[in-house]
């Protein structure tokens, strides 16, 4: 039976089929291994890119250092309140916001330091007095902006009217009668709450340089 030609032929066919199946399985395993290797390579590239983006993002969010902040400050004009010329904090802050809009790394603390650093001495002093007993360093940027907008805005509050009144000065070509009339008019506008022991016109006269 072992010498049966037909049986031998069947056995040969089975052996060939087995070899072919083995070859297919080996090829499949090799393809799977290559696919896994390719997937691992892609995963590694994605991770590297993600790490790079995270590092760049971290760098972008780094606050400005003193040198960078100083360079930015040179592009910003000093704030000097003059509502008669349309110079209010709201308008100044709008220009300030436009100037720093392109700097993505500036923090809220940076903004606060810039704003406070750009106030003239009188405005800074008034703000500091207004904020007491708090220190300006402890007040958030948004609150600083809110206080300055209220103090030095288009709509003149009683505080602002008093501020302007105490800045009144006699014009070179103005006689004393006209000057006194202007001071009295200011007194009518700001007298509320001012001590009556020293009349407001007298305070102005005392402050007016000779």
Q: For residue 118, what are the β-bridge partners?
A: none
pTM: 0.46
Residue 136's pLDDT is 92
Q: Among 141-145, 171-175, 184-188, which stretch is predicted with the lowest mean pLDDT?
A: 184-188
HSE-CB of 176 using CA atoms within 13 angstroms:
4
Q: Where are the domains of the chain?
A: 1-60, 66-154, 162-207
pLDDT in tens, 68-80: 878 888 888 899 9
CA atoms of 73 and 106, how far apart (whole Å): 12
**Is the distance from CB of 133 to CB of 101 less than 8 angstroms?**
no
SS3 46: helix
Whether residue 65 has pLDDT greater than 50:
yes
Q: If you average pLDDT over residues 177-195, what whole number do you get?
A: 62
Which pLDDT value is given to residue 206?
Answer: 45
Residue 156 has which token pair? Answer: 């003149």
Q: What is the pLDDT of residue 62?
A: 64
């Amino acid at each position: 039976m072992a010498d049966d030609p037909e049986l031998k032929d069947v056995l040969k066919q089975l052996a060939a089929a087995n070899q072919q199946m083995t070859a297919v399985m080996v090829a499949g395993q090799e393809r799977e291994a290559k696919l896994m290797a390719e997937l691992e390579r892609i995963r590694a590239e994605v991770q590297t890119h993600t790490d790079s983006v995270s590092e760049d993002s971290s760098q972008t969010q780094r606050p400005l250092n003193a040198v960078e902040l100083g360079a930015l400050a040179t592009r910003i004009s000093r704030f000097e309140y003059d509502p008669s010329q349309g110079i209010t904090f709201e308008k100044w802050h709008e220009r300030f916001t436009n100037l720093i809009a392109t700097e993505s790394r500036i923090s809220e603390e940076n903004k606060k330091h810039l704003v406070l650093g750009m106030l003239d001495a009188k405005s800074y002093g008034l703000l500091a007095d207004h904020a007491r007993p708090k220190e300006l360093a402890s007040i958030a940027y948004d609150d600083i902006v809110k206080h300055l907008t209220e103090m030095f805005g288009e709509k003149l509050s009683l505080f602002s009217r008093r501020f302007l009144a105490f800045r009144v000065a006699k014009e070179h070509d103005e006689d004393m009668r006209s000057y006194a009339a202007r001071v009295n008019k200011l007194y009518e506008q700001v007298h509320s709450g001012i001590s009556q022991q020293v009349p407001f016109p007298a305070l102005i006269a005392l402050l007016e340089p000779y």
